[in-house]
Chain A
Amino acid sequence: MREKVKPEEKAEANEIAQACSTCFEVPIGPIHPALKEGIRFTFWIEGERIRKVDIRPGFMHRGIEFMGTKRNLIQVLYLAERICGICSISHPLAIVQAVEQAAGIEVPPRAQYIRVIIGELERIHSHLLWAGVAAHELGFDTLLHYVWKVREPVLDILEDLTGNRINYAIPIYGGVRRDVPPEKYPVLKDALRYYRSLVDDFVNFFLRDPSIEARTRGVGVLTPAEADSLCAVGPTARASGLRKDVRQDWPYFAYPDLEVKAITPEDMGLEVRGDVYDRIVVRLLEVVQSIEIIERCLEEMPDGEITAFPKVAALLAHLKKAEGEGIGRHEAPRGEVIHYIRLQAGEEAPVVWKVKAPTYSNLMPWYPMFRDQEIADIPIVAASIDPCICCMERVQIVRDGRAETMWREELLRLSWDKTRRIVGGLGASHVAREGI
């Protein structure tokens, strides 16, 4: 599919060429060994320094939201699970919250705890996966192999508890599909003990290694002000010193009882610098935090039902009658994931389903992070937000068989048009007058 070059794009390219006559253009992506998924960076490089960067997503759009509006809600849940391979519990956890809010379903307490346990186990495996990828981007393959080896036990535990290593199919509207029976507690506790014993090794391998420190300290800096104004989420925001965590700010499930606190590098006694090193620190501390949360869950978990609707047919009937809208938010390993859903009585499928994955918010912080870095820093800076491009892709504009880029003026005009449509004939003149 060829792209149409718009006059705005040409103008921008000319502007860059004039501003930096000694720069040369280095394209990274959509296919490049540093990237695990397709996204295109265009860097303007002077010597080894990055002078400007342009980021172009849109290669991995799958139209999952559209598919969702053609299926019944239970099928949508499975679809949500497949938005992301690594946050495969985070998207279902967000959508069940949205639907439960829309349909007014009460969830039994035990189910809330089980959701937290699986969610935190996922955070452990996701952060370990990231640590391995980060080591590989730095050319430290030994660490990659080590970290991915020690990641196996948590996947084994997840398989033991849910039947699957990756797509767990655990949450359902109104509860969870499988209990965590008390006989499983000892195995789970063993695994947690194992990870606790590894924390010192991780600190030694990642935080005290001179070659890793040389490659990550002062690299990809995101200041707290930038993190705040660009709406960074998750570990990316917390590494810049923002105490921002959905589990702390808007507690849900069993989190209100667990008193989760957002983690920043200060918790390790370090000064916040907002660089890649700090992002390693935050993720490491979050693994410890997740271990603590699960341990507390196992102690405090009440007995009782695990779902409000033991029969799926009854659940479907209830959902078909439901009308309303709901928002579900969950702190995924990469940051806040939001699902919005609107249900209509008599419709099995949701009328609207909107997903916002954490990477979407973390795209813009890439610009300040890449500022004046070296070519050698590109892979680790790109990886430092733990990007999940497929989950993030929301739209791709294709007109006459050609991909198109929307520019600001066009987007503004489109949003005015939409506002006019929604407000209808009555408010149209009002909107035009106010210039919204």
Chain B
Amino acid sequence: MSGVNALWQAILVLVGGGAVGFLYKGLDRKLAARLQGRIGPPLRQPVLDVIKLLLKENVVPRTAIPWLFRAAPFLAFVAATTALLYLPVGSLRPVLSGYGDLVLLLYLLAVPALAMAMGGFASGSPYAVVGAQREIVMMMSYEFPLAIAAVGIAWRLASLGLSPAFSLATIAANPLWGAVGPLGWMGLLFLFVSLLAVTPAELSKIPFDIPEAETEIAGGLLVEYSGVSLALFYLADVIKTVVIAALVVALFIPYGIAAPLGVAGVGGQVLDLLFFLVKLFGVIFFAVTVVRVAFARLKVDQVARFYLLPTTLLALAGLLLLVLDKVVMGG
């Protein structure tokens, strides 16, 4: 792969990823509104929001640490967009495949949340400080099941003799569901459910929107942000939604429809890409949109308990079943 080619691909993925992110954000808002019996904003509303924010003044509060306060949104945005480049899109390999793996992606996913917490601490408002504390507590609780799910998959792939096991290209090219026995199948299901449970918290959506919690701490982390900085956080959120959904798809539902339908060549790739977008939409709709209209906001201790006990136990059980499966199947 030549350098120029890679650059073109990267630009395509970033622009395409952003566009898809905006589309899904609009769909999420529209569908959530319909589920709540409202009309909802037009699909282009997220774009309009960002354009308006970009035109607004960027206010830095007097009590803030200015450089950190300004840097945090950039950090969040850059980390989220970089993560896009490590994701397999449909039947295409990740743009930066070979330069980083699943572990790097998990770190990149943690950066926007950390950047938001830093920005919150730096903004000098008690609401933002409370929000930042909550963000950190929530991260510490959900990162464990997330890591178990990722490691479980990679370990089972390695045990099947595939390498590099942590590369997302390998993971996406070798769906595990068919390669394991019934025990492993159940284990995978457990890991899948726990990863879906982590998704809304990664994106700070109800019932896990405690770092922002509008009625409690008036927007929390974001309370002092405005203008370009807020727009960058918004963009980071839009792109992170796509990244998380794509990660779930790559880990657990990496199937294409071109091969079964017998379509080859460019047509097949386009078909797979469209199917990939449908899968992304499915994940976002069921793990984010439906969940956020069906629950009340939890408290920070309830969130921590939810992730540290049932979700972690479910993920551990999944991992254990995968191990047992290897023993039974003789890997």
Q: Which residues of chain A have a CB within 8 Å of any CB of chain B?
A: 24-27, 32-34, 45, 48, 135-143, 145-146, 149, 209, 211-212, 214-215, 374-379
CA distance A378 to B126 in the complex (A): 15
Q: A139-B207, A140-B296, A215-B299 are in contact. Are A34 and B215 (CB under 8 A)?
A: yes
A139 pairs with B209, CB closer than 8 A:
yes
Near A by CB (< 8 A), chain B positions 125-139 give: 126-127, 129-130, 133
CA distance A46 to B299 in the complex (A): 16
Is B298's beta carbon under 8 Å from chain A? yes
Among A33, A34, A138, A377, the residue within 8 A (CB) of B296 is A138
Q: A135-B296, A209-B296 are in contact. Are A376 and B216 (CB under 8 A)?
A: yes
Is B210's beta carbon under 8 Å from chain A? yes
Q: A26-B127, A145-B38 are in contact. Are A139 and B218 (CB under 8 A)?
A: no
Chain B nearest Cβ from A424, distance in angstroms: 53
Q: A33-B218, A214-B302 known; 9 other A-B pairs, CB under 8 Å?
A: A26-B127, A34-B215, A48-B130, A137-B215, A138-B296, A139-B209, A209-B296, A211-B298, A214-B299
Residues on the B chain within 8 Å of A215, using CB: 296-299
B209 pairs with A376, CB closer than 8 A:
no
Residues on the A chain within 8 Å of B209, using CB: 139
B130 pairs with A26, CB closer than 8 A:
yes
Near A by CB (< 8 A), chain B positions 282-304 give: 293-302
Q: A212-B296, A215-B298 are in contact. Are A139 and B130 (CB under 8 A)?
A: no
Residues on the A chain within 8 Å of B127, using CB: 26
CA distance A27 to B125 in the complex (A): 11
Q: A141-B36, A145-B38 are in contact. Are A33 and B130 (CB under 8 A)?
A: no
Near A by CB (< 8 A), chain B positions 94-137 give: 126-127, 129-130, 133
Nearest B residue to A139 via CB reads: B297
Residues on the B chain within 8 Å of A32, using CB: 218
B298 pairs with A33, CB closer than 8 A:
no
Q: Which residues of chain B have a CB within 8 Å of any CB of chain A?
A: 35-38, 126-127, 129-130, 133, 206-207, 209-210, 213-218, 293-302
Residues on the A chain within 8 Å of B298, using CB: 211, 214-215
CA distance A48 to B129 in the complex (A): 11
Residues on the B chain within 8 Å of A146, using CB: 36-37
Q: A26-B130, A145-B36, A145-B37 are in contact. Are A139 and B299 (CB under 8 A)?
A: no
A139 pairs with B36, CB closer than 8 A:
no
Q: A48-B130, A214-B298, A375-B130 are in contact. Are A136 and B215 (CB under 8 A)?
A: yes
Nearest B residue to A145 via CB reads: B36
Chain A nearest Cβ from B93, distance in angstroms: 41
Chain B nearest Cβ from A291, distance in angstroms: 23
Residues on the B chain within 8 Å of A214, using CB: 296, 298-299, 302
Which secondary structure characterizes the binding site on chain A? Answer: helix
CA distance A113 to B130 in the complex (A): 52
CA distance A139 to B209 in the complex (A): 9
CA distance A271 to B208 in the complex (A): 31
CA distance A78 to B218 in the complex (A): 37
Residues on the A chain within 8 Å of B218, using CB: 32-34
Nearest B residue to A27 via CB reads: B126
CA distance A395 to B177 in the complex (A): 71
CA distance A212 to B207 in the complex (A): 11
B296 pairs with A375, CB closer than 8 A:
no
Nearest B residue to A134 via CB reads: B296
Which of B129, B130, B301 is packed against the most chain A CB atoms within 10 Å? B130
Nearest B residue to A214 via CB reads: B302
CA distance A270 to B214 in the complex (A): 32
Q: Which 3 A-B pairs have the closest CB atoms?
A: A139-B297, A140-B296, A211-B296
Among B214, B216, B301, B302, the residue within 8 A (CB) of A378 is B216
Residues on the A chain within 8 Å of B206, using CB: 139-140
CA distance A54 to B293 in the complex (A): 34
CA distance A135 to B215 in the complex (A): 11
Nearest B residue to A148 via CB reads: B37
Among B38, B129, B210, B215, the residue within 8 A (CB) of A33 is B215
A211 pairs with B38, CB closer than 8 A:
no
Nearest A residue to B127 via CB reads: A26
Residues on the A chain within 8 Å of B213, using CB: 139, 376
Chain B nearest Cβ from A418, distance in angstroms: 41
Nearest A residue to B129 via CB reads: A24
Residues on the A chain within 8 Å of B301, using CB: 48, 374
> Would you give 20 A-B contacts (Cβ < 8 Å), ordered by A?
A26-B126, A26-B127, A33-B215, A33-B218, A48-B130, A48-B133, A137-B215, A139-B215, A140-B295, A141-B293, A142-B293, A142-B294, A146-B36, A215-B296, A374-B299, A374-B300, A375-B130, A375-B216, A375-B217, A379-B215
Residues on the A chain within 8 Å of B215, using CB: 33-34, 136-139, 379
Q: A142-B36, A145-B36 are in contact. Are A379 and B216 (CB under 8 A)?
A: yes
Chain A nearest Cβ from B285, distance in angstroms: 15
A149 pairs with B37, CB closer than 8 A:
yes
Residues on the B chain within 8 Å of A142, using CB: 35-36, 293-294
A34 pairs with B216, CB closer than 8 A:
yes
A376 pairs with B296, CB closer than 8 A:
no
